[in-house]
Chains A and B, each alone.
Chain A
Amino acid sequence: GAVVSQHPSWVICKSGTSVKIECRSLDFQATTMFWYRQFPKQSLMLMATSNEGSKATYEQGVEKDKFLINHASLTLSTLTVTSAHPEDSSFYICSPARSGPTEAFFGQGTRLTVV
């Protein structure tokens, strides 16, 4: 099966700083990357969709200038939380997808705590 590597698994940062989360697709070329967010005791919600080499598409209510997504290659996508605030504390998880009939693969998730 496909292997997805997401780092870091957890991070604590100070308010106002930026945090970068990496997601690597190790077994296949991910033409599309989905980023999800899960607040405590809630479900996972799609934040944005990015296609390799294109700008990401953000879901309603997600600030594109705050959550910068880079999908420069078919095996790597990054999510940068800029000027993080405590309300950004959440569990972030990536899901790379390939073209054609596809299945869902998920990274291990990153638990971000902003203090």
Chain B
Amino acid sequence: AQKVTQAQTEISVVEKEDVTLDCVYETRDTTYYLFWYKQPPSGELVFLIRRNSFDEQNEISGRYSWNFQKSTSSFNFTITASQVVDSAVYFCALTSNAGKSTFGDGTTLTVKP
């Protein structure tokens, strides 16, 4: 069975602070995909990043960066110099090779001006 744990239910930071959202996963599959999504109040899932299980290379995209460590089954997401527009619910998800996704409970990020 797959499981995704986002231990942080809510995080509140002040604008320009850096913030890291944690994600820990469990799976018996050797091939899988990890995702981060942003869900603004409108409800749509906004794709942020996808990583497959064979690619542990960390990635930076603008103010966003991701740290994937298979040894600890973690896929953490860092926002540098946070902005008010970053306020949203962020979901980490694990997708099996068959396409079935398991989502974490989400982390609500509030960035205050």
Contact = CB atoms under 8 A, between A and B. Distances in A.
A91 B43 contact: yes
Contacts of B28: none
B44 A109 contact: yes
B45 A106 contact: yes
A32 B44 CA distance: 21
Contact of B100 (A34, A98, A103): A34
B44 to A, nearest CB: 5
A104 B99 contact: yes
A15 B43 CA distance: 23
Nearest to A104: B95
B27 interface: no
Max chain B CB contacts within 10 Å: which of A38, A43, A93, A106? A43
B100 A49 contact: yes
Contacts of B105: 42-43
A61 to B, nearest CB: 16
Interface in A25-71: 32, 34, 36, 38, 42-46, 49
A109 B45 contact: yes
Interface of A: 32, 34, 36, 38, 42-46, 49, 91, 93, 95, 97-98, 101-104, 106, 108-109, 111
